[in-house]
Amino acid sequence: MREFSIFSIWMSISLWLLESSLCAGDSSVVNPCCYYPCQNSGVCVRFGTERYKCDCTRTGFSGENCTVPEFWTRVRVMLKPSPKVVHYVLTHLHWFWDLVNRSFLQDTFMRIVITVRSELIPSPPTYNTKYGYLNWESYYNISYYTRLLPPVPEDCPLPLGTKGKPVLPDPKVVAERFFKRDTFRPDPQGTNLMFAFMAQHFTHQFFRTNHEVQGGFTKAFGHGVDASNIYGDSLMRQLELRLHEDGKLKYQLVDGEMYPPTVSEVPVHMVYPEGFPPKHRLVVGQEFFGFLPGLTMYATIWLREHNRVCDILKAEHPTWDDEQLFQTARLIIIGEIIHIIIEEYVQHLSGYLLKLKFDPSLLFNVRFQYSNRIALEFCQLYHWHPLMPDSFLIDGDEIPYSQFFYNTSLLMHYGVEKLVDAFSRQPAGQIGGGRNSHKVVLSVAEMVIKESRAARVQPFNEYRKKFNLKPYSSFYEFTDDIEMARGLEELYGDIDALEFYPGVMLEKPTPSSIFGESMVEMGAPFSLKGLLGNPICSPEYWKPSTFGGETGFNIIKTSTLKKLVCLNTKWCPYVDFHIPRNEEEAKPRKPSTEL
């Protein structure tokens, strides 16, 4: 507990120096909360101009700065392994996890993983971009992103509080020096472009920042997995996309295959360049998805899957009308999305040897709230553009970005099967460690840094503390790249002034991993809380009748990425979130109905 006493001494000295400067006639008054004095999730409340008080309620700590652990907190801290140790155990000891995955212990460990992670995310939400204190507007106005930590107080002497340079570095300089790719660095975990495009397609249903309004507002219809990227984010758009017959969505047939309709058939807003051929202006739920063929490919697969599910429901329920067929199919699709994301997407990303399991009933006897709000920090850390390669390799052709952007004709030219096969075989880039973003996506990093500053997001190390991680003591501990460490120190001055987004993206990756420790420890709680906080996972929803009976329920419980693709294509390509691990996997596949 030596670190707690050292921190208290440091804070006392800092505040004494502050008071001394004030007494000496310094007219500037520094908000004491700018020092981030309250530790362990304590809340800093300012009184007058010079005093503050830390509210340590239910933190497990007491004392002036919430640094004195209570008895049971001492016990928990002594017994609880560090996040680094937990991650090591979950990614090593094959013999142990082979045993766990074949026994009842799998459910126990899965329940622990979900609850421990989810408890780090407050529910109901706390702060938003406008308010650094609890109030009704933060809770009730869902147009805002919520946020985990309050904003940096506006009256702090420096941009990030009391440490660092008086002026933050130019976002363009940060992006050019630390994000820009020199040589493509593939992800050592074997992540592929099928994963990269799923990440974009999946997250665009709830990450929809309203750039027209400053202040951390979202345009998303909901705050979680609602499949609005398939069905549209408003009732008007949904109704335009629907066929209004047998619950299905509108489509067009090209050489006997189902594809999204064009704007001439569905007159809704889609983002395409001026002069773009009308026949290639495909319409899907998310207006941005015409930008990349990988996103249009996923939109096509989900369109086919929705209509396939409607046929199954229609056969079982011939008396159901169009509305009930559509609404029930949508619930099934949402279930399939969550199942695939947890058991394959998150499984791959985590590197865990524990086999993750989507079974909402695991939480029915524990305290858990079935609601979710998307946090600004979650939206920012999920900008994983280093995944994108230097060019795209499809069926023997190398396609540069200039021919890839806004080229929906690639979908019809190659077909879904060849795109899936190509994207599943091509490696994606490593996200963490910096210097791996293609120049065409570099502006995204600049944009996120600017938005973070406008929202006054607290420094990276403050988020390390919030997620029970040891704050970095220097840039040389933060990264193994000496040149990068020197550059960051030159621009920011102090590790405690390093911004949040550069922190999670530039941090040294853990060995043979796609990114660093902070991304895993911060991203996982947001992900699991959002996925399992979905209404369909609640006891009232999670039962056969919700999904039209056992047949619909089983579609969810047995869904896989391979089934999603192969039940909706003429032949079954190689499909996975991982590049082929051996020559057998890499072999071309024959048409197959065995899934």
* Catalytic residue flag (residue 352): no
Exposed (0-12), middle (13-18) or buried (19+): which is 528, by Cβ within 10 Å? buried
Tell me the C-alpha to C-alpha distance, in Å, between residue 466 and each of 40, 41, 57.
Answer: 7, 7, 16
Q: Where are the alpha helices (DSSP H) in 459-533?
A: 460-466, 475-478, 482-492, 500-506, 517-532
Q: H or E stretch including 259?
A: strand 257-259
Q: Helix, strand, or coil here: 397?
A: strand
Q: Give the separation between CA 466 and CA 471, rounded to whole angstroms.
A: 10
What are the contacts of 14-20 at 24+ separation with CB within 8 A? 14/162, 18/50, 19/50
b (16+ CB within 10 A) / e for 465-483? bbbebeebeebbebbebee
Distance of CA 22 to the CA centre of its chain: 44
Helix/strand/coil percentages in the chain, nearest 5? 45, 10, 45
Encoded tokens for 177: 């020096």
Query: Catalytic: which of 382, 463, 472, 574?
Result: 382
Query: Catalytic: which of 52, 127, 144, 204?
Result: 204
- Phi first, then psi: give them for residue 370, nearest 5 degrees: -90, 70
Q: Helix, strand, or coil here: 486?
A: helix
Q: What is the largest CA-CA distance in the chain?
A: 84
Q: Concatenated DSSP letters for 518-582?
A: HHHHHHHHHHHHHHHTSGGGSTTT-SGGGGTSHHHHHHHHT--HHHHHHTTSSS-----SB--SS
Given a contact cutoff of 8 angstroms between Cβ atoms, the answer to whether 382 and 198 are in contact is no
Residue pointed to by tokens 């069926």: 395
- CA angle in degrees (0–180, nearest 5) for 499-502-504: 100
Find out whether the peptide bond into 539 is cis, omega within 30 degrees of 0: no
Question: Could you tell me which of 542, 568, 540 has the C-alpha nearest to residue 557?
Answer: 542
- Phi first, then psi: give them for residue 372, nearest 5 degrees: -155, 145
Tell me, what DSSP letter sits at residue 319? Answer: T
Q: Give the separation between CA 301 and CA 382, rounded to whole angstroms.
A: 23
SS3 annotation, 129-165: CCCCCCCHHHHHCCCECEECCCCCCCCCCECCECCCC
* Catalytic residue flag (residue 382): yes
Tell me, what DSSP letter sits at residue 429? Answer: B
For the annotated catalytic residues, the residue numbers are: 204, 382
